[in-house]
Structure 1
Amino acid sequence: MTAMPQGRARRSALTSAVCALVVTGTALTGCAGEDPDAGTNGVGKLPAAQIQSRTRAAADTADAVHLSGNVVTNGRTYRIDMRLKSGGGSGSVTSQGATFGLLRIGSQLYLKADAEFWNHADGGGDTGAADKLDGKYVKVPQDDPAYRKFSGFTDKTVLLDGLLTLHGTLATDGRHKQSGVRTVRVTGDQGSGGTLDVSLEGRPYPLRLVRAGGAGTLTFSDWGRDFPLREPEKSDTVDYGKQLPTS
């Protein structure tokens, strides 16, 4: 076997070192003729608008998703951690220092919070009622303002329709990684209209969203992974009546 000339060997080693530095950077690019789309689902080759269309279709048809992060709306920041599917959802929401749990099974929504939450919702007027609701799953009547206010957090279709939106001119912004998964990034108006990282592995699910105008950052995981939704025990359930105390 003919030995590689010393100069060529040095160039080969230098090329390998440069490739290693490029691959370990923030944006993943091809090196020495390598195809950056090798082994991917191929959406990275598409125009930004088509990538967004594909990821919305993947999200809409997924049976379930785990969504977590911050959402800013109407001047209020909500920290959400929800598991969602077509039949309902469960998880927690934190706003203004108060955390409450949400559970929806079909059309029945339950809200679970401590006495301080209920006391604040009632304007501090009925501490006895707040104590009775402390730590219980409270049935929320469908015609109550609280139902309209909180049920959207448990509705996969409503929540994704409201969140998975980029504003302005769409463009791609290189290859990245999210929780170890290769992604292609789509931006609106060079990032001022939001950014969305889309999986290049498996189905093109959205994995990370930075909303326009500093309106929050969300991550999406466990796409298609089912989870149980169970009615709470009767001993842990309170039917408050026709209308809940709400702020």
Structure 2
Amino acid sequence: MTVIPLVRTRRAVLVSAVCALVVTATGLTGCGGDDPDAGTNGVGKLSAEKIQSRTRKAAEGADAVRLSGAVVSNGRTYRLEMRLKADGGTGSVTSEGANFRLLRVGEHLFLKADAGFWSHQEGGTSDGGPADTAAAKKLAGMYVKVPTGDPAYKRFSGFTDKDVLLDGLLTLHGTLAKDGRHEQGGVRTVRITGDKGAGGSLDVSLEGTPYPLRMVRAGGAGTLRLTDWGKDFALEEPSKKETVDYGKQLPTS
């Protein structure tokens, strides 16, 4: 009997025909899974150094990005949920139980928090800072304009600066190497590492523009997801009714 070989032959012919159709329609190669780079943007074939260069260029050229995750800085862990673009950013920050919102439009930085946050900032009364619960309640729920000369401006404005933040986050330390293919949010990625992961790792999209999608910082200094590349969002200063201009310096702890 030759039924089984005949069925197999017909199946092979059918698969070949489908493969040819796909190649003709899309221009892709490697039908059947022989080429792991089939249908990708091609960066997976590059060296780790070139992949890092490509993803940095892609990130710098993007109009906007959403950044989510944790960053450890000066011994403190900050959980971020930020949207950033060239002229500012907005989002929430949580650190040591305190939660507040940041909004920067151009050089103007605003901070919004509840009374509990401002109560923990008490202490510096010589410069007019609030020293009682009533003052903290007055600031609660309002956008407080942060003076450019205040230490808080330097401390928090970096969280709203796309270029500054990404420049620091996308840096891998040590010898670069590729660490296989992975997936982030349903998107295929290639991973590059510094010193086999001790210097951080970065997942770069293999689909479309090679944007960085996940960053693990060196030394356990946080893990971040980067999404919504190029998706614009509204960025406006709060109204005067929502704003308190604190003057030369914010309350200090």
Q: TM-score, normalised by structure 2?
A: 0.85
Q: Does 1:220 align with 2:226?
A: yes
Q: Distance in 1 between matches of 2:197 and 2:155?
A: 30
Q: Which has the larger radius of gyration?
A: 2
Where 1:38 maps in the other structure, the secondary structure is coil
**What percentage of aligned pairs have identical amino acids?**
73
- 2:172 — aligned with what? 166
Q: Alpha carbons of 1:116 and 1:89: their partners in 2 closer, same or farther (altered >3 Å)?
A: same
- TM-superposed CA distance for 1:233, in Å, is 2.2
- Unaligned 5+ runs, structure 1: 13-29
Count of aligned pairs: 227
Q: Does the CA-based 8 Å contact 1:188-1:195 persist in structure 2? A: yes
- TM-superposed CA distance for 1:87, in Å, is 0.8
Where 1:177 maps in the other structure, the secondary structure is strand
Q: Distance in 2 between matches of 1:33 and 1:239?
A: 61
- 1:240 — aligned with what? 246
Where 1:172 maps in the other structure, the secondary structure is strand
Q: Distance in 2 between matches of 1:163 and 1:33?
A: 34
- 1:112 — aligned with what? 112
- 2:181 — aligned with what? 175
- 1:185 — aligned with what? 191
Q: Alpha carbons of 1:4 and 1:34: their partners in 2 closer, same or farther (altered >3 Å)?
A: farther
- TM-superposed CA distance for 1:119, in Å, is 1.1
Q: Distance in 1 between matches of 2:135 and 2:92?
A: 22
Q: Alpha carbons of 1:243 and 1:204: their partners in 2 closer, same or farther (altered >3 Å)?
A: same
Where 1:71 maps in the other structure, the secondary structure is strand
Q: What are the superposed Cα offsets for residues 81-112 of structure 1, whole Å, 9 maximum, x if unpaired?
A: 10000010000110000000000001100000
**For residue 35 of structure 2, what is the amino acid of its counterpart?**
D
Q: Does the CA-based 8 Å contact 1:146-1:246 persist in structure 2? A: no
- 1:103 — aligned with what? 103
Q: Alpha carbons of 1:116 and 1:180: their partners in 2 closer, same or farther (altered >3 Å)?
A: same
Q: Does the CA-based 8 Å contact 1:208-1:219 persist in structure 2? A: yes
Q: Does 1:78 align with 2:84?
A: no
Q: Alpha carbons of 1:149 and 1:204: their partners in 2 closer, same or farther (altered >3 Å)?
A: same
Counting only pairs closer than 5 Å after superposition, residues 25-36 of structure 1 correspond to structure 2 as 34-36=34-36
The alignment's C-alpha RMSD in Å is 2.0
- 1:17 — aligned with what? none
Where 2:60 maps in the other structure, the secondary structure is helix
- Unaligned 5+ runs, structure 2: 13-29, 124-129
Q: Alpha carbons of 1:214 and 1:31: their partners in 2 closer, same or farther (altered >3 Å)?
A: farther
**For residue 102 of structure 1, what is the amino acid of its counterpart?**
L
Q: Distance in 1 between matches of 2:244 and 2:151?
A: 18
Q: What are the superposed Cα offsets for residues 164-187 of structure 1, whole Å, 9 maximum, x if unpaired?
A: 111111110111100000000001
Q: Does 1:136 align with 2:112?
A: no
- TM-superposed CA distance for 1:58, in Å, is 0.3
